[in-house]
Structure 1
Amino acid sequence: MEFRLTDAQRALIAPVREMAQASFRQRALRWMGGTFPWENIRDLAGLGVLGMTVPEEYGGLGLPVFETALILEELAKVCYPTAMAVLGEAGVQTRVIARYAPEGIRARILPQVVSGDCILSICMTEPHAGTDVANYRTNAVIRGDRVVVNGAKTLISRAEEAGMFVVFTRIDGRPGREGIGCVLVERGTPGLAVTGTFHTMGGENLHEVRFEDVELPLENLVIREDGFKRLLSAFNTQRCLNPAISLGLAEGAFDEALRYVRDRPVFGKPIADFQGVRWKLADMYKDIEAARGLLWRACMTADPFPDPFLAATAKVFCNEMAIRVTSEAVQLHGGFGFTDEYPVSRLYRGARYGSLGGGATETLRDLIGRKLVSEDPGPDGVMGLGYF
């Protein structure tokens, strides 16, 4: 087994790391009021990073899940809003268009994703249903060669900037999970409205999106059957990319804390000279490395989607690890850690999102537990051994 990045992987992330550390770190405070990080997005488009999950025939890089996670990790080390903005171009929504949209839509939209000219927004959560997909009320009715959509979505990222909305909806009122499908709605379509705004503790804005008799051509109905199953398959990828951001936030906070305790004097010597501080750092480092091992292992199972059991395990651990590590980083900064001017404050607030999005940790714990008690661990006696 090899636990080192290849030369090609290092070459891929090096310019992203350099740009993030040299530019994005200094700009990070700008985006905390909800302003979309367009300047960073334009810079990343110049590197080709926005097209990392777009197939090569549309101008993208077509990267595997692992390499995509590495890039998001680097961005999250310095700027949570930027990492989340890029996740919107690399996540489920891009994969839905690339795998299920007709050629005309793929050829028109995906090159704009690569160039940064089309921001994508995925619309899933509804005012009364988040994880409970089976109770979606948004509905798309097929009328000959047209589709008419009505309903509302809430807590939607990038809605004010999006050029295309990837909307999971009920089809023809069919009940339950089996009735879920997906439509593509372009900005400017009559009946589409971005209404409410929710400012998050992480710095980005979320929105309410309403569909009132939104009429679409039939080709925009990109998933008509087995939508829930396809959504879950795609979401296993999200359950590796979301924790990659958590990992990056924890690493960024750890780096900031390490610099601070080395330089900050108290009682005539650096804070780092106190055993209690060194033990905190040791625990933070241990947590980060354990999370990295789980996440990288889950990413490497992707073909094209990661193993759901390992992805869920990695997500739960990385999400909760990031909260612990960023919190300790704030503590090590003392009162300065509570101020916006120090990065650890922003990284801590960003870390709190991970366990809420992409599948709540409570839901994923239940998924993991059900699999453990219902399946035979095999002759090795260790359920995960066969995944190596």
Structure 2
Amino acid sequence: MSNQRLQLTEEQRALIGTVQNLARDKNWRTNSIKFLDGTFPAENLRELAKIGVLGMSVPEEYGGSSLPLFDTVLVIEEIAKHCYTTAMGVMSSVGTQTRVISKYAPESLKREILPKVCTGEVNLAIGMTEPHAGTDVPNYKTNTVIKENCAVVNGVKTLISKVDDAEWFVVFTRINGAPGRDGIGCVLVNRNTPGFEVTARYHTMGGEFLGEIQFNNVEVPLENVILREGAFKKLLSAFNTQRCLNPSVSLGMAEAAFEEAINYVRQRTIRGNPIADFQGIQWKLAEMYRDIEAGRALLYQAALSADPFPNPQQAAVAKMYVNEMAIRVSSEALQVHGGYGFTDDYPISRIYRGVRYGTLGGGAVEALKDLVGKKLVKDFDPVEGFHSMGTF
């Protein structure tokens, strides 16, 4: 996909080009097969750390580059074109968890953690989902009690990425049992703290593991309670970043599926003719290209709205569309491969597995449709209607 018409800056082009060259030189798309067993792409992340990718969300005073969200989306998109597992690994370094620490943690924790995020020495994870509640935040049960000299965390978080590789966990938790959304705050927990236990691991379609954590009277310093009750709106604003980064993975994988499809149909012949010459195949390619470009426009618009976090409705719409678009595109790309597409020897099989995660993580698509639909009904002006260029 050409980015020339997007009028990117020279710096943006250089960064994307550096990532692209690294991924191609190391043949990430083909080599990604080795991550299907859950192996963490540590070597790929070390290479990305060397060129500054892991520090994109970290302020300059802590060793990062503090790039705009749009730049981060561009980079994640490019990485995802070559390796889903690596893109997901990078997300943990540049996503909500890093931005929450950068924005809200005390200075001592910022200086302890953020420089090591940039170098890849420290991995971060986020704990939101609970066994009985995903997007149903008001019913989270994990609770942190503030005492005189410490805070004590109890509860369970599940479906956590990088559960075996992260050192620090940004945990959404109820504070002092306060009810509802207003009772939610945020605590930073080190995996070596007594009472922290990984109690389950789930191997996913995409290859990586998601895990479950039990917090049994986990004592943390008071400074680790980086947001107390009443901070849910701040947390949600930060989490909206994930609603741009998650679809950037989907967009990159849709592009990869499209590329694999074109390469295949140009080489595959029937009765001596490449199947790329068939109208039915060309229509599929045209529709795939159309859908990718529409998704790109929505996602880039949402990412450009960030100041520092993106507009919630624009991010939600972008995620809804791009997640579902990527599933359609990768499915069609697999279809044109015929039976070969169903084998692990072809990258399209791995792309199809990974892309399925998008609609589930970062806020389920169904929940986002509900959010957007309610706002449309609430904000609609029967006289003015909706203006062009969006009103969200």
TM-score tier, shorter chain, comes to over 0.9
Measure, in 1, the Cα distance between the counterparts of 2:269 and 2:385.
Answer: 51
1:9 to 2:12 alignment = yes
The residue aligned with 2:377 is 373
**What letter matches 1:50 in structure 2?**
L
Query: Which SS does the other structure have where 1:194 is aligned?
Result: strand
Measure, in 1, the Cα distance between the counterparts of 2:15 and 2:281.
Answer: 35
Measure, in 2, the Cα distance between the counterparts of 1:16 and 1:322.
Answer: 22
Measure, in 1, the Cα distance between the counterparts of 2:382 and 2:23.
Answer: 45
The residue aligned with 1:264 is 268
Please list every run of 5 or more consecutive structure 2 residues that lacks an aligned counterpart in the other structure: none
RMSD: 1.4
Q: Is the 8 A contact 1:140 1:169 kept in 2?
A: yes
The residue aligned with 2:63 is 59
1:267, CA displacement in angstroms?
1.8
Of 84, 100, 121, the match for 2:88: 84
Runs of 4+ in 1 over 2 A off after TM superposition: 376-388
What is the correspondence of 1:319-358 to structure 2 with a 5 Å cutoff?
319-358=323-362
What is the correspondence of 1:154-303 to structure 2 with a 5 Å cutoff?
154-303=158-307
1:368, CA displacement in angstroms?
1.1
Measure, in 2, the Cα distance between the counterparts of 1:56 and 1:380.
Answer: 44
Query: Which SS does the other structure have where 2:24 is aligned?
Result: helix
Q: Is the 8 A contact 2:380 2:386 kept in 1?
A: no
Q: Is the 8 A contact 2:79 2:87 kept in 1?
A: yes
Measure, in 2, the Cα distance between the counterparts of 1:91 and 1:384.
Answer: 31
| Identity %, equivalent residues | 60
**What letter matches 1:105 in structure 2?**
L
Query: Which SS does the other structure have where 1:77 is aligned?
Result: helix
Of 31, 39, 45, the match for 2:43: 39
Measure, in 2, the Cα distance between the counterparts of 1:77 and 1:377.
Answer: 41
Q: Per the alignment, do residues 168 and 290 of structure 1 end up closer, same or farther by CA in structure 2, a change over 3 Å counting?
A: same
Of 12, 20, 24, the match for 1:21: 24
Q: Is the 8 A contact 1:77 1:249 kept in 2?
A: yes
Instruction: Give the TM-score normalised by the residue count of structure 2.
Output: 0.96
Instruction: Give the TM-score normalised by the residue count of structure 1.
Output: 0.97
1:377, CA displacement in angstroms?
4.7
Measure, in 2, the Cα distance between the counterparts of 1:198 and 1:303.
Answer: 36
Measure, in 2, the Cα distance between the counterparts of 1:189 and 1:285.
Answer: 49
The residue aligned with 2:112 is 108
1:379, CA displacement in angstroms?
7.2
**What letter matches 2:197 in structure 1?**
A
Of 313, 316, 325, the match for 2:317: 313
Measure, in 2, the Cα distance between the counterparts of 1:376 and 1:366.
Answer: 16
Measure, in 2, the Cα distance between the counterparts of 1:257 and 1:127.
Answer: 38
Query: Which SS does the other structure have where 1:122 is aligned?
Result: strand
1:269, CA displacement in angstroms?
0.6
Q: Is the 8 A contact 2:202 2:211 kept in 1?
A: yes
**What letter matches 1:37 in structure 2?**
P
Please list every run of 5 or more consecutive structure 1 residues that lacks an aligned counterpart in the other structure: none
Aligned residues: 387
**What letter matches 2:322 in structure 1?**
C
Q: Per the alignment, do residues 76 and 379 of structure 1 end up closer, same or farther by CA in structure 2, a change over 3 Å counting?
A: farther
Q: Is the 8 A contact 1:76 1:246 kept in 2?
A: yes
Deviations 1:193-231 (A, max 9, x none): 112110000111000111101001100000003232112
1:258, CA displacement in angstroms?
0.5
**What letter matches 1:148 in structure 2?**
V
1:367, CA displacement in angstroms?
1.1
1:383, CA displacement in angstroms?
4.1
Measure, in 1, the Cα distance between the counterparts of 2:331 and 2:24.
Answer: 22
Query: Which SS does the other structure have where 1:385 is aligned?
Result: coil
Q: Per the alignment, do residues 383 and 364 of structure 1 end up closer, same or farther by CA in structure 2, a change over 3 Å counting?
A: farther
Measure, in 1, the Cα distance between the counterparts of 2:123 and 2:6.
Answer: 35
Q: Per the alignment, do residues 249 and 219 of structure 1 end up closer, same or farther by CA in structure 2, a change over 3 Å counting?
A: same
Measure, in 1, the Cα distance between the counterparts of 2:388 and 2:12.
Answer: 26
Q: Is the 8 A contact 1:253 1:326 kept in 2?
A: yes
Query: Which SS does the other structure have where 2:217 is aligned?
Result: strand
The residue aligned with 1:361 is 365
Measure, in 2, the Cα distance between the counterparts of 1:87 and 1:379.
Answer: 43
Q: Is the 8 A contact 1:377 1:383 kept in 2?
A: no
Measure, in 2, the Cα distance between the counterparts of 1:43 and 1:377.
Answer: 51
Measure, in 2, the Cα distance between the counterparts of 1:188 and 1:194.
Answer: 11
Measure, in 2, the Cα distance between the counterparts of 1:42 and 1:377.
Answer: 51
Measure, in 2, the Cα distance between the counterparts of 1:31 and 1:148.
Answer: 36
The residue aligned with 1:120 is 124
